[in-house]
Structure 1
């Protein structure tokens, strides 16, 4: 009897959903058709009812979208199921729309799973261009001013030295050690949480949450983002259970470190940090101040930890694959920094090849091949094409990174390309940290962390292929494309280097 009732209820629910969905699609189509004068940009062939929108739901979509560039051009358009997506395949198109027309393209996509069900739109990174975004952005700029960023230099240098010391003791654990280091340095900068705090107290929950988050912001990952009516599905549906867990975990992960800072402030023992600075000297013109500080801090942690971690892990990979480039960079460090100390952030401007190597690491495999999607807030026209309101706009930065070059092979790892003014290569920092009004306010902080970690590794270690002599790079297909687990050999360059690492780490104050 119970099975019959449940079966009837589920069938009735599904039928109602289908009717509502068909009505939704027809309404969207008729509204778009009534506004359209120019044609939409070209794209793959359309199928009845679903259009071509499902073409984006493939493994590593940036590869297919880059292929489409040479078939359809810099603008590739997808539509169907009441949705529209526009892929930008050139830096010119990204600059023209996302920067020069930022007032029209600063909203974020309406990810039903990520925003409405999981609550990611409470973060600065994912909220629309509105009063909430402006308030959090102001907080971030206030606490990440040039003077404030310089104040974190020693902390970042300490973190790199501690990571090097840990590698001396357990080089085979380079991946989890880097994951832990990148998380702890951001916790220290954002909340003043000491780096010797057990990782399970704050980091474990955030890492579990991140696994869902990187899927939730990948266009097409969850069917509910293409069929919004599915958000009314019963709570027993698997994606609803996953979203409920993520919502609760997000609340906990954001609240715990924030409350730690408040307790330390009350006790008069709060060390300098992003949150400590804002709570000590609050901005009178921002309403709901504490809540907005809490979410701005959460955004800073999420963006900073991942960008540093993934970039450094890719660095390990390319150094094992290209030892000749490693030797050139090491020689520059030895020549400029010397052999009796570790590099500092102040050395950055004097190490052009190291900087070029870091840029090439970012270009060789962009950690976010499709950037972070934008959304048009009104109808627009560009290059003779019509772009409807609420179109999801995806900057395919992979296509920029692998733009054909008459002198340098895009697939090759060649830091020298960034030192050759006769064949300029687009600096990855122009697309790694976002576009227009959505550029990450912590980009300078992240670049400093990446630089000092990599420079310290170059000064301290030789990285080479594993004992098997084989290394085949593989990467995940999420919004952030992580290297699949791999092995490599990491040994100190000398006994003296090992001693210098131990001594520098012992001086750390974090």
Structure 2
């Protein structure tokens, strides 16, 4: 025994509690220090060439966690106050989220430069082992896929934007919106339920071929899939510390993986219930036209993937397309309550183009170029109450310099949608006129809610057509009034119950007759009556 160790041993004998407590504290401190160093955010590490990142300013955050808690709170806040406050750091703000470094883009200028112009090196996604791995059966959602896997679903989905497909889908959208009008008329207090049926039925027919015949339980399950999936991103520690799974022993990781397995199985089983009948019809030659039949399972243009890959591509279109459209339609109703003058202007435009009272006809997609105020109003609804606080990160695959900053490969760039939507004069006001700039018929122009660059949502024109039809026909035929107290910033978007109270009445007898006669002529009146009986 060395003389140097003697005092330490004496201290241990005389003060065992203090000794062992101090030793435990030291072990914990060293462990946390080693953990923090191992998971140091990308933006705080030196590059392989020894170059230190030079990033825009941003909140310092907590040790190890960084700004994770603030971002989670900011996304869950309906007013997105914390995300908007990131603009105080300038056009870009750097946040360290676990071991990842994200740069939030707060202005259209930097968003266009980094997401659009540098899209060739900012198309990648960062790793999400839980949400895009376990929960997704390894297939979920092209929006989270790495670039190599994303190319094939992207190729297939581009057919949604082709002229011939858009024209066919447009006739289906007109049919479904006619049924929606009849449902408004027959059961106005259930307007929010009609929105989900309409949005889901449109995208269901486009993706899978048949008009929607699903129970309320089946529709609610599909709606909940979106909520659970997005929730898995923010609640999973491993998604923010991707190296954690490699660091921990298998006996520690396995119970954690099993804790998410139920969500994967539940998701997979629901998808299978919707997909299997469609696949069987396609295989036996009885299926109607659809994205699944004519693109994914078309022998002339086969999808390069297995059966589950194909199912997930088809069902993600149904899932995402239906829920987002529903949320925007609800926001449109809120806008009508809060800003009736804008809706009166929209009605005047529709009356001028489509006639009035006994001479009125329903607007169609052929009127889109002539109803530019309606197009502008659709964009303003999405800007005024953005339903998506931010889009998935665009991760750089190479180092690059911009505006005096040096961004290392692996930096994630996030479109800060709430901040981008407030990049206008008087952002709290609802002013469709701000979009009458010659690009009003392109809903993605100047509006970042669909993403940007090569990762932009391929279905944005389908979304535009659905919103155009609903808004033009809504302002033409119905009056909306407040039916009780509400908070215009607390819309409860994900609730299946009434998000806010609305008193909905048909404009006059002429429009009641127009709706009923058109619904009967198009063969959807009985379907609308059946929906009334279900509710």
Category of TM-score, reference length = shorter chain: 0.7 to 0.9
Q: Residue 46 of structure 2 contacts residue 52 of structure 2 at CA under 8 Å; is this kept in 1?
A: no
Aligned to 2:421: 401
What is the aligned counterpart of 1:78 among 95, 109, 123? 95
What is the aligned counterpart of 2:355 among 330, 338, 346? 338
Give the 3 Å change call, closer, same or farther, for CA 483–334 of structure 1 in structure 2.
farther
Give the 3 Å change call, closer, same or farther, for CA 118–99 of structure 1 in structure 2.
same
Aligned to 1:495: 509
What is the aligned counterpart of 1:350 among 370, 373, 391? 370
Aligned to 2:453: 436
Give the 3 Å change call, closer, same or farther, for CA 456–35 of structure 1 in structure 2.
farther
What is the aligned counterpart of 1:389 among 401, 404, 409? 409
Which structure 2 residues correspond to residues 369-388 of structure 1 after superposition, within 5 A? 369-388=389-408
Q: Residue 223 of structure 2 contacts residue 323 of structure 2 at CA under 8 Å; is this kept in 1?
A: no
Aligned to 1:205: 221
**How far 1:258 sits from its partner (Å)?**
2.9
Q: Residue 238 of structure 2 contacts residue 244 of structure 2 at CA under 8 Å; is this kept in 1?
A: yes
CA distance in 2, matches of 1:48, 1:234: 24
CA distance in 2, matches of 1:415, 1:225: 39
Aligned to 1:184: 201
Which structure 2 residues correspond to residues 90-489 of structure 1 after superposition, within 5 A? 90-119=107-136, 122-130=140-148, 132-200=149-217, 202-217=218-233, 220-228=234-242, 231=245, 241=259, 243-278=260-295, 281-283=298-300, 286-288=303-305, 290-339=307-356, 340-405=360-425, 409-419=426-436, 430-466=447-483, 468=484, 470-475=485-490, 485-489=499-503
**TM-score, structure 1 as length reference:** 0.85
Q: Residue 89 of structure 1 contacts residue 396 of structure 1 at CA under 8 Å; is this kept in 2?
A: yes
What's the CA shift string for 1:312-345, capped at 9, x where partnerless? 1101111011222211111211111123321111
What's the CA shift string for 1:252-272, capped at 9, x where partnerless? 233333322222224432111
Which structure 2 residues correspond to residues 46-85 of structure 1 after superposition, within 5 A? 47-60=62-75, 62-70=80-88, 72-79=89-96, 81-85=98-102
**How far 1:457 sits from its partner (Å)?**
1.2
Q: Residue 39 of structure 2 contacts residue 241 of structure 2 at CA under 8 Å; is this kept in 1?
A: no
**How far 1:74 sits from its partner (Å)?**
1.0
SS for the counterpart of 1:326 is helix
SS for the counterpart of 1:297 is helix
**How far 1:290 sits from its partner (Å)?**
4.7
Alpha-carbon RMSD across the aligned residues, in angstroms, is 3.2
**TM-score, structure 2 as length reference:** 0.81
SS for the counterpart of 1:172 is helix
May I ask how many residue pairs the two structures share in their alignment?
481
SS for the counterpart of 1:386 is strand
Give the 3 Å change call, closer, same or farther, for CA 495–178 of structure 1 in structure 2.
same
**How far 1:459 sits from its partner (Å)?**
1.6
**How far 1:491 sits from its partner (Å)?**
0.4
**How far 1:52 sits from its partner (Å)?**
4.6
CA distance in 2, matches of 1:368, 1:292: 26
SS for the counterpart of 2:142 is coil
Q: Residue 478 of structure 2 contacts residue 505 of structure 2 at CA under 8 Å; is this kept in 1?
A: yes
Give the 3 Å change call, closer, same or farther, for CA 172–483 of structure 1 in structure 2.
closer
Give the 3 Å change call, closer, same or farther, for CA 323–153 of structure 1 in structure 2.
same
CA distance in 2, matches of 1:189, 1:141: 13
CA distance in 1, matches of 2:226, 2:295: 25
CA distance in 1, matches of 2:31, 2:173: 52
Larger Rg: 2
Gaps spanning 5+ residues in structure 1: where? Answer: 1-13
SS for the counterpart of 2:74 is coil
What's the CA shift string for 1:40-87, capped at 9, x where partnerless? 2211235555445544232347422322322x2111112264221111
Gaps spanning 5+ residues in structure 2: where? Answer: 1-27, 525-535
SS for the counterpart of 2:103 is strand
**How far 1:135 sits from its partner (Å)?**
1.2
